Structure 1
Amino acid sequence: MKILIVDDERPARDKLRRLLSQQSDVSHIAEARDGNEALQTIRAYPPDLVFLDVQMPELDGISLATQLPEPAPLIVFVTAYDQYALQAFDANAIDYLMKPYDEARFLRALQKARERLQKPVVTADHLLCNEKGRIQVVKLSDILWVEAADNYVLLHTVNGQHMLRQTLSGILEKLGSGFVRCHRRYLVQLCSIQQFIPTQKGDAQLLMKDAARLPCSRQYRSAVLSYLKIED
């Protein structure tokens, strides 16, 4: 499972991270400090499950839940206030953790998420591109970055470029946890980023292994930094 923790209090995030890190089926844990940062992260790198605080500055948890892009992740609200429970379940939350909660209560909430997420697992380590009547096998590990091109995407790989009829959001779902969106037109393989270069107005550039310089817009900056484990 890919998990996003959203809470403006560091101790609350640390507690959830500690509990989640003990679970063998949790493959990735990201954090956001407020609703706006969480929304950027979810759009750039969709999680399976969000542990979401209710009371946060600017964009609160209930409001965030109503703005999630489809397909929306599962939500477990985590709060010290019981008066939001009805609103939380109206927002399709699967559970409502009251602070302070113990490990047993946390595990019950996590098990609900596991049961909702259970489905046949399809594993693939490649994509198939139809190029001039031939089927080209492209290994996911060879893809450095991906560029949107109208109704197609252009795969930039260690062996050259390949065109695939697919949207950028659609290809991100197929590529899996090693890739993240950095711009409305680009997504990148995390291990292919060589440098993160801040620029003006909160934007940045990513220097890739093939020497390409890609824009990283403010909308996706927090998500990229989170998955690179760099403090913003």
Structure 2
Amino acid sequence: MNALRVAIVDDEPLARARLRRLLERSDGARVEVAVECSDGADLAAALARTPVDAVFLDIQMPEADGFAALARLPPPHPAIVFVTGYKQHAVRAFEVRATDYLLKPVSARRLSETLARLLQTRATAAHEPAAAIASPEPAAPRVYPERLPLPLGQRRVLVPVEDIELVIAQRNYLEVQTAERSFVLRQPLAAFAAELDPRRFVQVHRSLLVRAGAVREIRPLESARFRLTLHSGKQVRSGRNYREAVRALLQPR
């Protein structure tokens, strides 16, 4: 039987190394760790270069958490096994059809059960009728929320998405700005962006998300950067690596 090709995604090097050792020494399954990522934001690009059968995915990571990383993967994506130190995400994990949910520190016995499940899933998929694979039912278009519950003191305020101008990442926090006020919450930028319609919100800097309809003017600067002026008068600068994203703002929507 061919080796089970897997990816490990975890921002902690020691956690990645321990899981790699357990996988490579597992009984009853040949496992090849084909991809390692320290950030969920890099996962989609890595899998485009190196396809795998399964992804062992941490949840709490900077830049993009496990759920945000999963949301970026084009279908059909590999089997997903969440590996985390937190129990509270289990329900959400199985809502997104994860194959398994492992709590750190992962035991060899528990990992063996997961690998058996992954092998069974792969074997079942290999014997599916060709017609069923060639003619899948079209996926329903995703519906994005029109309002978001944002924290304000001890309460939550339902803010229309159309009122949001900017989302600014500052370390582990986000500042969501409307024309009238700002809301601060603890969440990775990628996870927040995954809840927004990408046709309406564009990331123009590693720490900046802007609503396309809020932009009034775009002026080129040096080094492939741009200055964006919003209808409210606020001004922000784009990052050097986001030139194409800014140019997309100039296209009809």
Q: TM-score of the superposition, structure 2-length normalised?
A: 0.46
| TM-score when normalising by structure 1 | 0.49
Structure whose alpha-carbon radius of gyration is higher: 2
